[in-house]
């Protein structure tokens, strides 16, 4: 069985997002606190290093348009399929993906995810709902294997069902 690699937000995009997000708003970093002041972000998934936010970290909640950024680099034209949404990132440079966080980030048992498949033109060509089981890596490997079995699938975005938040991207191996 093929194993897949979740991709974090690329470093160039992170540098830009730390100044202005994809909605054109200035980035407003804050210190993560568990008591809800200024924002209860402990445990929220960071898209820069693919692990959860920890108390005391400087983070920012920004609007991110992953398909738009991918399309800009490939010449794809997603049109109406372009979307943006909220993601947490470190306010400053971080070390990238944290191997201790697990191969598939923010995937506790019972979490609801949708895997959206896109073709090389940036159009949605299918999707799949996944309720994450105890063996999250096996479930994601199976779901991604099904997605990439379609030769038209260029990439897959994994999002939370509840809020639609982007979690990570996987490209054709």
**167 located within any domain:** yes
- Model pLDDT, residue 96: 87
Spatial contact of 132 and 115, defined as CB atoms under 8 Å apart:
no
Confidence of residue 170 (pLDDT cuts 50, 70, 90): very high
Report the number of distinct structural domains present in the chain: 1
**pLDDT above 80: residue 36:** no
**84 located within any domain:** yes
Confidence of residue 103 (pLDDT cuts 50, 70, 90): confident
**122 located within any domain:** yes
- Model pLDDT, residue 35: 63
> Residue 59's domain spans which residues?
11-171
Spatial contact of 74 and 33, defined as CB atoms under 8 Å apart:
no
**pLDDT above 60: residue 127:** yes
**pLDDT above 90: residue 173:** no
**6 located within any domain:** no
**1 located within any domain:** no
H or E segment to which residue 155 belongs: strand 155-160
Strand ordering across the sheet containing 58-64? 30-31, 58-64, 85-90, 45-46, 51-52
**29 located within any domain:** yes
Spatial contact of 112 and 101, defined as CB atoms under 8 Å apart:
no
């Amino acid at each position: 069985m093929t194993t897949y690699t979740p991709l974090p937000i690329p470093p160039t995009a992170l540098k830009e997002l730390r100044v202005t997000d994809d909605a054109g708003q200035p980035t407003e970093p804050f210190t993560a606190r568990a008591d809800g002041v200024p924002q209860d972000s402990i445990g929220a998934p960071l898209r820069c290093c693919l692990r959860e936010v920890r108390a005391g970290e400087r983070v920012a909640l920004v609007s991110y348009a992953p398909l738009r950024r991918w399309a800009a680099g490939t010449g794809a034209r997603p049109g109406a399929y372009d979307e943006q949404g909220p993601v947490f990132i470190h306010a400053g440079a971080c070390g990238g993906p944290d191997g201790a966080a697990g191969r598939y980030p923010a995937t506790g048992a019972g979490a609801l995810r949708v895997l959206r498949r896109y073709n090389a033109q940036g159009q949605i060509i299918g999707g799949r709902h996944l309720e994450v089981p105890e063996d999250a890596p096996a479930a994601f490997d199976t779901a991604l294997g099904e997605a990439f079995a379609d030769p038209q699938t260029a990439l897959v975005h994994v999002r939370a069902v509840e809020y639609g938040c982007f979690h990570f991207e996987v490209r054709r191996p």
